[in-house]
Structure 1
Amino acid sequence: MSEFTILATLASVHFIALMSPGPDFALVVQNATRYGRQTGLYIALGLSCGILLHSILSLTGVSYLVHQQPTLFALLQIAGGSYLSYLGYGALKGTWQSVQSVQSEQQNIEDPSLLLTNKRQAFSRGFATNILNPKALVFFVSLMSSLVPATMSLTGKGIALMILWSLSLVWFSFLAWALSTQRMQRKVKAMAIYVDGLCGVLFSVIGLSILWQSTATLFGLL
């Protein structure tokens, strides 16, 4: 298989994965609709940098070594599951408070630690959500090991990294832009509670399922 074919296949598989609903997708949807375009774009940048780091670690074999250490991988899963559950709790708490609020100025009451007040926080939220997601680690280990041969040139591997990073940045940035247009904001504003609630459920279900599996694995190893 030529390097061009490998890179084209890699790009196709990765782009399909990006469009699949998951924590990254939900994070952009929730925050772009709530905080606007700039926050959504910085979250997109954080997510794409997390994907780039996952790609580098997988390509260099570091992620594979982590995946082959059951105790270490279980601890990573616990950390990731806890973080996603934390995001889910915050989103559900904000949804509940919005439902209970009568006056509009009370509808944005949230846990202060979950608010995004600047670019750095938005970038950090995106980066942490991706890099702490153990499912992303497994995905990139599988993707790199199955599609990128060890004999591939350094130039080819560098192009592969750029493809994974740029596709991620373009897709999540487009999503943030599309959800923060004035027309879309008017439509989404009325559904903000439902968006927060749905994203909260998604974060919580994924986070708690990861925690359940990882703690069972960890106790089985002890």
Structure 2
Amino acid sequence: MIAAAHFLALLSPGPDFFLIARNSLSSGWRVASGACLGIAAANGVFIVAALAGLAALSRESTWFVILQLIGCAYLLYLGVLFIRHAGTSGLGSVLTQDSHVARSSLWFGAWRRAASMGFLSGILNPKNALFYASLATMLTGPYASTGWKAFYGIWMFSVVLLWDLLVAAMIGNQAILQRFARVLPWLERVSGAMLILLAVGVIIFMMH
């Protein structure tokens, strides 16, 4: 459920999505791949920090219980937010971008700038830190071992990078983008429902 909730949350466009979209539409997917790598690197920093930070907390400690409750509350908040504002992400603004702007830019320089912008976009977004800390608190019992944390860390980093690269490659296709815009409200509702179910499930588990 943690892996599924993380992936579904990626489907809902945020600042990172629009950064990738604009880079892909203006400079092509190869330049946009720099933004993808920068965003994934920023996510990786938060993933490592969240998982490593919890290693010092005992499952029975008061601080761990408080952290779990805060994490559940944040996931519930995100879930309600996704459902409440489904279909209002403003994806239509991306559809009108000029796909031929800045194609004459020096490729490596443009790629490096995109990577820097992607990393800053990800690392300066406080929601990323809260989201990964919330997911990390869900790992309890045998799933809180070093091996499982490494597995989830690698999984989440890889999914962020691969999904963003897929978005960058497909975003220039107007037909695909228009279809995505049509199903986006339902994707956001499903994402919200998954986050709420995950939070409720952990709360029920804690009560036992």
State the TM-score, normalizing by the size of structure 1. 0.53
Percent identity, aligned pairs only, is: 6
Does residue 188 (structure 1) correspond to residue 176 (structure 2)? The answer is: yes
Deviation of the 1:201 alpha carbon: 0.9
Distance 2:88 2:17 in 1: 14
Distance 1:89 1:198 in 2: 12
Does residue 174 (structure 1) correspond to residue 138 (structure 2)? The answer is: no
- For the Cα contact (< 8 Å) 1:55–1:164, is it kept in 2? no
1:21 maps to a residue whose letter is A
Does residue 143 (structure 1) correspond to residue 143 (structure 2)? The answer is: yes
Distance 2:205 2:153 in 1: 32
Deviation of the 1:198 alpha carbon: 3.1
Does residue 54 (structure 1) correspond to residue 50 (structure 2)? The answer is: yes
Change over 3 Å in CA distance of 1:211–1:166 after alignment to 2: closer
- CA RMSD in angstroms comes to 4.4
- For the Cα contact (< 8 Å) 1:66–1:73, is it kept in 2? no
Structure 2 residue runs of 5 or longer lacking an equivalent are 21-31, 97-116
Deviation of the 1:189 alpha carbon: 0.6
Does residue 25 (structure 1) correspond to residue 7 (structure 2)? The answer is: yes
Deviation of the 1:215 alpha carbon: 7.5
Deviation of the 1:207 alpha carbon: 3.5
Distance 2:61 2:139 in 1: 13
Distance 2:65 2:128 in 1: 26
How many residues end up aligned between the 2 structures? Answer: 170
**2:88 corresponds to:** 94
Deviation of the 1:175 alpha carbon: 2.0
Q: Which residue, out of 193, 198, 203, partners 1:205?
A: 193
Q: Please list, as runs of the form range in 1=range in 2, the aligned pairs for 1:23-172 lying within 5 A after superposition.
A: 24-31=6-13, 34-36=18-20, 37=32, 40-58=36-54, 60-62=55-57, 64-65=59-60, 70=65, 73-90=68-85, 92-94=86-88, 119=118, 120-123=120-123, 124=125, 125-133=127-135, 136-139=136-139, 142-145=142-145, 147=147, 165=153, 168-172=156-160
Change over 3 Å in CA distance of 1:57–1:193 after alignment to 2: same
